[in-house]
């Protein structure tokens, strides 16, 4: 059967939207949120083959699934997040829990477990985190000991505990990371296995509709065939192989959550009359609280989609790109939700409106699947290697591509991207020459600047190539204006932050020389017309979201 085409994706999204519209009211969400309850019936319905069957997306076709491509999975994730991030997490945990199997499982293991998940609509959980092993999984303590019969390893006894596992209290199938004699490995453990217990549901700040629970293993016996890949010591490799992909999905969560919050605020602003007119007509209100977020969302969308398309070709890997997508989109979504409350004033702060809940919910996207700081380190490491390998030419070479794009299409901000990339290359080189990356803070900030510039670059390139990212509600002209604004701001941030870092850690360096090298003046010069461009975007927003 053919891969799903765009029309099929849109059909699936429509079905999901319509299901949510008919079945998941704001009141239902609010009540469950207040009572800290899981809408398990909703999850079951979403898995029901005749209603939606969302989980089939992650199951390869040969095992009765849909073999969903990265693009449709991220778009479904975005839509799920717009509905509720707790429900989204419940669905995502099944995706995540199945991933070690997907990358590491033998054909027999895949056939057995995927068929079971597909046909019996099983909820899956992914158990990696422990009390002392969060970002630092190497400190893993849960152990899997050999059970030997007649000189053969026939099974494992797992002992230890896991913390904060999504679907932990409600899943049927668990993929659990444990330290086997041959190293960290994934095991499949079924609910009901003797010695395996689940803790109570956590009382959390947000995503309260998602079950989160600890797991305890007391000499839990699993047969050797439940070791994923039938080979010990592959656990970290299997986990890392899908980071590019799983982080892209959480990026879509950040995007969806943020969009939902700001859209609620914008609709409100169209009706809220203050000082003689609707708030959405007030320039400062829009430019401070609404418009910048839409620009970042479209940049994030372009980047996520571009990465998804790359992943469809490469299958796995792209860990740096996945990290960039997640860092950028989730931090943008989180800030947007915060401003959505501000934009709605007192109403935003009450539980009458969704934004207050979204703000609590979306924060998790900056924490799970790699905290923002861990991602900054990952991004830094990935690109630092490139910088060193290319003798500082990595971003300079890319800048040349944007010079050429600017010559073809001067309207999309390719000139600013070129300046920003050169500034970035310069800052990286100053950091190398002066050994500034011994400061952990510098590595974090470099990770952030790298993600800022790479997202800006992809957004501009997509616009220059006249690509309107699927799922975007804007026309190409508006997207070009957005890309141009975004490129200028990212270049400015890169140059000025870069200067701050270099001068802040290396007092001996000559200020005028560094400042000239990042060419801040040229970047500042690109700011002409910036506010007009932002007003244009505001006008478009009013148009599109007018009730």
Partner 1 sequence: MHIIVCIKQVPDSTQVKVDPKTGTLIRAGVPSILNPYDHFALEKALEIKAKTGAKVTVLSMGPQQAVAVLRLALALGADEGVLLSSRAFAGSDTWATAYALATAVKHIGSFDLVLCGQMAIDGDTAQTGPEMAYHLHIPQITFCESIDANGNTVVVKKLIEGGHQILQADLPVLVTMTMPHDYVAKYPSFMAAHKAQDKIIRTWTETDIGADPHKLGLEGSPTRVDRIFPPPTRAKGEVYSGSAVELANKFVEILKKERVIK
Ligand X SMILES: Cc1cc2nc3c(=O)[nH]c(=O)nc-3n(C[C@H](O)[C@H](O)[C@H](O)COP(=O)(O)OP(=O)(O)OC[C@H]3O[C@@H](n4cnc5c(N)ncnc54)[C@H](O)[C@@H]3O)c2cc1C
Catalytic residues, which ones? Answer: 369
Output the CA–CA distances (angstroms, integers) from residue 191 to 22, 54, 169, 411, 471, in the order listed: 32, 22, 9, 57, 38
- Contact between 133 and 140 (Cβ < 8 Å): yes
Of residues 54-113, those binding partner 1 (CB under 8 A): 54, 56-57, 66
- Nearest C-alpha neighbor of 398 from the set 371, 432, 421, 415: 421
Question: Which of 68/184 has CB closer to partner 1?
Answer: 68
51 binds partner 1 (CB under 8 A): yes
Q: Return phi, psi of residue 162, to 5°.
A: -120, 155
Distance CA 521, CA 494 (A): 13
The residue within the footprint of partner 1, chosen from 367, 473, 504, 506 (CB under 8 A), is 473
For residues 473 and 479, give the distance between their C-alpha atoms in angstroms, rounded to a whole number: 10
- Measured at the CA of 272, the angle between CA 270 and CA 277, to 5 degrees, comes to 80
Residue 66 binds which entry of partner 1, ligand X, none, CB below 5-8 Å type-dependent: partner 1
Does residue 12 interact with partner 1 by CB under 8 A?
yes
User: How far, in Å, CA of 88 to CA of 76, rounded?
Assistant: 9
Q: Which of 27, 35, 50, 508 binds partner 1 (CB under 8 A)?
A: 50
Q: What is the 3-state secondary structure (H, E, C) of 288-299?
A: HHHHHHHHHHHH
Q: Site mask, partner 1, residues 429-468, x = CB under 8 A?
A: ----------------------------------------
Query: Considering the complex, what minimum distance in angstroms separates the CB of residue 56 from partner 1?
Result: 6
Contact between 295 and partner 1 per CB under 8 A: no
CB 86 within 8 A of CB 170: no
Pairing of strands 124-127, 173-180: parallel
Q: Does 477 sit near partner 1 (CB under 8 A)?
A: no
The structure tokens 């994730």 sit at 77
| Residue 22 interacting partner from ligand X, partner 1, none (CB closer than 5 to 8 Å by kind) | partner 1
- Given the complex with ligand X, which of 128 and 295 has the nearer CB atom? 128
Site for partner 1 in 515-544 (CB under 8 A): 544
Binding-residue total with partner 1 (CB under 8 A)? 29
Choose between 362 and 517: whose C-beta lies nearer to ligand X.
362
Tell me the C-alpha to C-alpha distance, in Å, between residue 227 and each of 93, 182, 187, 230. 20, 12, 5, 5
Cβ neighbours of residue 510 under 8 Å, at least 6 residues apart?
Answer: none
Task: Using the minimum distance from each CB to ligand X, give the nearer residue, 247 or 526.
Answer: 247
Partner in contact with 165, chosen from ligand X, partner 1, none, beta carbon below 5 to 8 Å by kind:
ligand X
* Structure-token pair, residue 19: 């299901």
Distance CA(472)–CA(177), nearest Å, equals: 38
Nearest to 73 by CA among 237, 206, 251: 251
Q: Which residue has the tokens 């009390």?
A: 131
Using CB under 8 A, pick the residue from 71, 474, 495, 538 that binds partner 1.
474
Identify what 355 binds: ligand X, partner 1, none; CB under 5 to 8 Å per kind.
Answer: none
Angle in degrees, 0-180, between the axes of helices 354-362 and 26-35, rounded to the nearest 10? 60
For residue 167, the SS3 value is coil
Asked if 291 is part of the footprint of partner 1 (rule: CB under 8 A), the reply reads no
Residue 56 interacts, among ligand X, partner 1, none and using kind-specific CB cut-offs from 5 to 8 Å, with: partner 1
Please give the residue ranges that form the binding site for ligand X (CB under 6 A).
93, 126-129, 134-135, 164-166, 204, 207, 212, 364, 367-368, 371, 373-374
**Which has the closest alpha carbon to 406: 489, 520, 483, 475?**
483
Q: Measured from the CB of residue 141, what is the shortest distance to partner 1 in angstroms?
A: 39
**475 binds partner 1, rule: CB under 8 A:** yes
Given ligand X, partner 1, none, residue 371, with its beta carbon under 5 to 8 Å by kind, binds: ligand X
CB of 45 to partner 1, least distance (A): 11
Nearest distance, CB of residue 309 and ligand X, angstroms:
27
276 near partner 1 (CB under 8 A): no
Q: How far apart are CA 203 and CA 207, in angstroms?
A: 10
| CA separation for the pair 254, 96 (Å, rounded) | 17
- Taking CB within 5 to 8 Å according to partner kind, which of partner 1, ligand X, none is near residue 503? none
Q: Decide whether 211 or 472 has the Cβ nearer to ligand X.
A: 211
* Range in contact with partner 1 (rule: CB under 8 A) among 46-54, 339-347, 366-374, 385-393: 46-54
- Which residues form the interface with partner 1 (CB under 8 A)? 1-2, 4-5, 7-8, 10-12, 14-15, 18-19, 22, 48-54, 56-57, 66, 473-475, 544, 546
């Amino acid at each position: 059967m053919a891969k799903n085409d765009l029309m099929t994706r849109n059909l699936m999204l429509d079905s999901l939207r319509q299901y949510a519209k008919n079945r998941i009211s704001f009141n239902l969400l609010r009540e469950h949120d207040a009572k800290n309850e899981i809408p398990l019936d909703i999850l079951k319905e979403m898995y029901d083959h005749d209603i939606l069957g969302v989980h089939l997306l992650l199951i390869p076709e040969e095992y009765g699934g849909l073999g969903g491509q990265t693009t449709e999975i991220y778009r479904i994730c975005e839509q799920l997040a717009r509905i509720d991030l707790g429900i989204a997490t419940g669905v995502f945990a099944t995706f995540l829990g199945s991933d070690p199997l997907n990358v590491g499982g033998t054909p027999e293991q895949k056939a057995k477990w995927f068929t079971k998940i597909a046909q019996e609509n099983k909820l899956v959980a992914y158990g990696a985190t422990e009390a002392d092993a969060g970002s630092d999984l190497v400190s893993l303590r849960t152990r899997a000991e050999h059970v030997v019969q007649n000189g053969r390893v026939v099974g494992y006894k797992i002992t230890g505990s896991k913390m904060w596992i999504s679907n932990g209290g409600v899943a049927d199938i668990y993929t659990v990371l444990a330290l086997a004699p041959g190293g960290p490995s994934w095991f499949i453990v079924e609910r009901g296995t003797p010695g395996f217990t689940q803790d109570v549901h956590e009382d959390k700040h947000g995503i309260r509709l998602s079950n989160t629970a600890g797991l305890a293993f007391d000499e839990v016996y699993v047969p050797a065939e439940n070791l994923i890949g039938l080979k010990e010591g592959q656990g970290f490799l299997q986990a890392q192989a899908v980071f590019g992909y799983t982080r892209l999905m959480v990026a879509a969560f950040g995007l969806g959550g943020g969009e939902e919050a700001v859209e609620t605020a914008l609709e409100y602003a169209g009706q809220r009359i203050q000082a003689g007119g609707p708030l959405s007509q007030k320039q400062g209100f829009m430019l401070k609280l609404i418009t910048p977020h839409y620009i970042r969302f479209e940049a994030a969308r372009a980047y996520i989609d571009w990465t998804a398309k790359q992943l469809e070709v490469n299958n796995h890997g792209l860990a740096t790109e996945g990290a960039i997508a997640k860092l950028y989109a989730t931090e943008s979504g989180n800030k947007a939700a915060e401003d959505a409350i501000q934009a709605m004033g007192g109403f935003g702060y009450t539980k009458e409106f969704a934004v207050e809940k979204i703000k609590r919910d979306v924060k998790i996207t900056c924490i799970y699947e790699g905290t923002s700081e861990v991602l900054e380190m990952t991004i830094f490491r990935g690109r630092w290697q490139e910088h060193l390998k290319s003798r500082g030419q990595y971003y300079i070479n890319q800048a040349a591509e944007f010079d050429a794009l600017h010559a073809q299409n001067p309207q999309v901000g390719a000139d600013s991207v070129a300046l920003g990339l050169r500034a970035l290359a310069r800052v990286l080189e100053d950091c190398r020459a002066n050994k500034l990356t011994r400061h952990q803070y510098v590595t974090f900030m470099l990770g952030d600047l790298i993600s800022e510039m790479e997202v800006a670059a992809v957004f501009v390139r997509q616009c220059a190539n006249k690509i309107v990212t699927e799922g975007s509600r804007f026309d190409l002209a508006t997207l070009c204006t957005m890309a141009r604004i975004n490129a200028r701001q990212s270049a400015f941030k890169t140059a000025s932050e870069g200067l701050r870092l270099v001068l802040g850690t290396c007092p001996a360096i000559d200020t005028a020389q560094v400042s000239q090298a990042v060419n801040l003046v040229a970047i500042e010069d690109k700011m002409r017309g910036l506010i007009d461009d932002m007003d244009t975007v505001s006008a478009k927003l009013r148009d599109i979201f007018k009730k």
